[in-house]
């Protein structure tokens, strides 16, 4: 007898798990198939260097999840299932070559004092942003949490117009279209302040001069100040483990090591899936694919040509290289010992350098000075390492998925297995300039190159951790394409979710949550 479930889900990332929990609440039976050995997609934790050192494979910051609509609805269930956050009051900072540094805390007075040391006018500007943030956040979060189906979009715009008026709505639209540099130059004077905030754009495919990127430096600065940051107690996989436990408690199945090869259809409706093993599983109501767009084009039968072409033309962002370090101690930051207390330290010297790094990666070149994100999770959560020891979570941004050369002319290899260790040394050189002697503190290191990220999770094409560029032509109602931002497809009963679908990347589980609402409303 063939197995049958109300919903079959391809992939066990956060959006899949969130959607499954939404469906189960309405009585749906759910089976999730994941090709990897562990659920979670980019949100998983393991001892990748030495026993006792727990490293987050890709995602570390869980603030979006903690503030999500999904978590608000399921917080009691998830907490009872073991989810635990570790709050960080000292959120992020940047260290600069001239020995200066700037940090943003969950303390507006401290932030203001540090910013005023760079420019009094910038302190005034920061105060104005702080004062206006609660009102602006209401509208911005409403947009970011809204479905972009036709009717929902109309309702969102109507509510926005009623509250802000025509002029206010147009001003917000203009802000959403600005590049990080355009907005930062308008608001601040200090290059240090601008660079500290602009570094956040590089997390989400927004170099300083890319239109549409101003939102993310603004939101990260203001939200971290207002709410702080959270990471997972013991590892980011605390949310994955809790969600799986909730799903299984209601009879759901999360089956790892099983890849879905094909979505079967009949009469224009998705009827089930074929596993790599050849087994067929029937779907009574829905097949939900948490896959990169091009993968969906390959696995679904009977897709109409324009839709399939749009899936295949979906653009991915540059890649990321991960470095997991088991440390004897945290870095001794030359700029200030206080930097040891921050969850993130960015090494991104200037807007011009960030712009150059991005262009080099886009051209297929290994950047001569990549942006380095140094995560210090054990400064927040000591349980992730043996007593007195530490870990570093490092991202090397941006790098090309396919290497065509080296911007500095020093690395001749064009394959990641060979170039990866050399690129890791370049990143360590940058870190050592800001924290002399850091190499002597490394007990073990695991480098994860873009091709390894993709091999582990095919959604991370070329090491693209956000599963697709968020530039304006591929964001909001255009993610992944016009008319399909609600997860619908031309095939009845087949739905698309994941970071490639609005509202996009991050740990907020937004697309899975919105799809769950759509299917159960």
Q: Where are the domains of the chain?
A: 3-86+235-315+464-520, 107-227
Answer whether residue 486 shows pLDDT above 70. Answer: yes
Return the CATH fold of 3-86+235-315+464-520.
Answer: FAD/NAD(P)-binding domain (3.50.50)
Answer whether residue 1 shows pLDDT above 60. Answer: no
Between residues 180 and 142, which one has the greater pLDDT?
Answer: 180
Answer positive or negative: Cα dihedral of 490, 491, 492, 493: negative
The predicted pLDDT at position 154 comes to 78
Provide mean pLDDT across the span 248-257: 97
Mean pLDDT check: name the lowest of 7-16, 152-161, 350-359, 438-447.
152-161
Tokens representing residue 433 in the block: 């300039």
φ, ψ for residue 85, nearest 5 deg: -95, 155
For 7, 321, 375, the CA distances from 244, given in Å and listed in that order, are 16, 28, 26
Position 475 confidence tier, pLDDT thresholds 50, 70, 90: very high
Report the alpha-carbon distance of residue 28 to residue 51 in Å, rounded. 40
Provide mean pLDDT across the span 245-255: 97
Mean pLDDT value across the chain: 96
At 395-450, the pLDDT tens digits run 999 999 999 999 999 999 999 999 999 999 999 999 999 999 999 999 999 999 99
The predicted pLDDT at position 48 comes to 98
Provide mean pLDDT across the span 473-494: 95
Answer whether residue 170 shows pLDDT above 60. Answer: yes
The predicted pLDDT at position 152 comes to 76
Report the alpha-carbon distance of residue 493 to residue 491 in Å, rounded. 6
Which residues, 6+ apart, have CB-to-CB distance to 47 below 8 Å?
Answer: 53, 54, 55
pTM, full prediction: 0.96
Answer whether residue 368 shows pLDDT above 70. Answer: yes
At 377-393, the pLDDT tens digits run 999 999 999 999 999 99
Q: Which residue has the tokens 């697709």?
A: 468
φ, ψ for residue 91, nearest 5 deg: -90, -65
Answer whether residue 341 shows pLDDT above 70. Answer: yes
Q: Which residue has the tokens 């020093």?
A: 410
Report the alpha-carbon distance of residue 307 to residue 43 in Å, rounded. 29
Specify whether the CB–CB gap between 347 and 371 falls below 8 A.
yes
The predicted pLDDT at position 53 comes to 98
Provide mean pLDDT across the span 471-500: 96
At 229-244, the pLDDT tens digits run 999 999 999 999 999 9
Answer whether residue 3 shows pLDDT above 90. Answer: no
Specify whether the CB–CB gap between 149 and 211 falls below 8 A.
no
Tokens representing residue 28 in the block: 């749906």
The predicted pLDDT at position 168 comes to 87
Which stretches of 380-452 are assigned E, i.e. beta strand? 390-399, 405-406, 442-448
Which stretches of 90-150 are assigned E, i.e. beta strand? 90-95, 101-105
At 92-150, the pLDDT tens digits run 999 999 999 999 999 999 999 999 999 999 999 999 999 999 999 999 998 888 887 77
Tokens representing residue 349 in the block: 């010297």
Which residue(s) pair with 405 in the sheet? Answer: 365
Mean pLDDT check: name the lowest of 23-37, 102-116, 159-173, 176-190.
159-173
Q: Which residues of 226-259 are buried (b: 16+ CB within 10 A; e: fewer)?
A: eebbbbbbbbbbbbbbbbbbbbeebebbbeeebb
Report the alpha-carbon distance of residue 225 to residue 129 in Å, rounded. 11
Between residues 301 and 119, which one has the greater pLDDT?
Answer: 119
Report the alpha-carbon distance of residue 229 to residue 431 in Å, rounded. 23
Position 496 confidence tier, pLDDT thresholds 50, 70, 90: very high
Q: What percentage of residues in the chain have a pLDDT greater than 70?
A: 99
Residue 519: how many other CB atoms lie within 10 Å: 20
The predicted pLDDT at position 164 comes to 87
């Amino acid at each position: 007898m063939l197995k049958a479930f109300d919903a079959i889900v391809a992939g066990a990332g956060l959006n899949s798990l969130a959607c499954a929990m939404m469906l189960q609440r309405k009585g749906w039976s759910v089976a999730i198939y994941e090709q990897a050995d562990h659920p979670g997609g980019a949100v998983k934790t393991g001892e990748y260097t030495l026993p006792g050192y727990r490293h987050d494979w890709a995602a570390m910051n869980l603030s979006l999840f903690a503030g999500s609509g999904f978590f608000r609805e399921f917080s009691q269930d998830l907490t009872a299932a073991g989810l635990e956050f570790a709050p960080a009051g000292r959120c992020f900072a940047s260290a600069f070559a001239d020995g200066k540094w700037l940090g943003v805390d969950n303390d507006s007075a401290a932030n203001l004092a540090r910013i005023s040391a760079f420019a009094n006018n910038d302190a005034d500007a920061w105060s104005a942003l702080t004062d206006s943030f609660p009102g602006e956040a209401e509208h911005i979060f409403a947009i970011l949490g809204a479905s972009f189906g036709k009717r929902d979009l109309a309702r969102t715009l109507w509510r926005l117009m009623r509250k802000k008026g025509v002029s206010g709505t147009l001003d917000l639209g203009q802000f959403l279209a600005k590049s990080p540099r355009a907005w930062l130059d308008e608001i601040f004077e200090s290059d240090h302040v601008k660079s500290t905030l602009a570094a956040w754009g590089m997390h989400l495919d927004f170099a300083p001069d890319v239109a549409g990127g101003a939102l993310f430096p603004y939101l990260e600065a203001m939200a971290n100040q207002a709410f702080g940051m959270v990471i997972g107690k013991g590892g980011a996989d605390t949310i994955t483990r809790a969600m799986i436990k909730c799903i299984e408690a209601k009879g759901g199945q999360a089956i790892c090591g099983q890849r879905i090869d094909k979505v079967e259809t009949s009469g224009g409706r998705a009827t089930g899936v074929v596993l790599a093993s050849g087994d067929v599983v029937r779907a009574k109501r829905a097949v939900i694919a948490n896959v990169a767009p091009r993968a969906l084009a390959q696995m679904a039968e009977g897709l109409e040509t324009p839709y399939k072409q749009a899936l295949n033309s979906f653009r991915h962002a540059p890649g990321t290289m991960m470095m997991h370090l088991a440390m004897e101690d945290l870095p001794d930051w030359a700029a200030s010992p206080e930097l040891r207390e921050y969850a993130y330290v960015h090494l991104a010297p200037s807007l011009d350098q960030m712009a150059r790094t991005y262009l080099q990666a886009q051209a297929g070149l290994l950047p001569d000075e990549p942006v380095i994100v140094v995560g210090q999770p054990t400064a927040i959560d000591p349980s992730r390492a043996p007593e007195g020891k530490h870990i570093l979570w490092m991202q090397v941004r941006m790098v090309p998925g396919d290497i065509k050369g080296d911007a500095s002319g020093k690395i001749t290899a064009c394959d990641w297995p060979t170039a990866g260790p050399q690129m890791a040394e370049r990143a360590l050189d940058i870190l050592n300039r800001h924290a002399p002697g850091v190499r002597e503190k490394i007990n073990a290191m695991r480098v994860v190159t873009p091709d390894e990220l993709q091999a582990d999770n095919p959604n991370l094409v070329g090491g693209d951790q956000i599963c697709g560029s968020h530039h304006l032509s591929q964001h909001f109602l255009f993610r992944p394409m016009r008319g399909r931002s609600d997860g619908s497809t031309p095939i009845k009963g087949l739905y698309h979710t994941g970071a490639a679908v609005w509202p996009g990347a991050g740990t907020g589980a937004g697309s899975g949550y919105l799809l769950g609402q759509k299917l159960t409303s």
